[in-house]
Amino acid sequence: MRTFQYTIKDAVGIHARPAGLLAKTAKALDSTVTIALGDKKADAAKLLALMGMGIRCGDTITVTVEGGDEIASEQAMRDVFEANL
Of 85, 79, 35, nearest in space to 61 by CA? 35
59 catalytic? Reply is no
- In this structure, the chain runs to a length of 85
Cα–Cα distances in angstroms (integers) from residue 64 to residues 11, 12, 16, 35, 78, in the given order: 24, 23, 21, 6, 11
Q: Of 15, 46, 56, 78, which residue is the catalytic one?
A: 15
Catalytic residues, by residue number, are 15
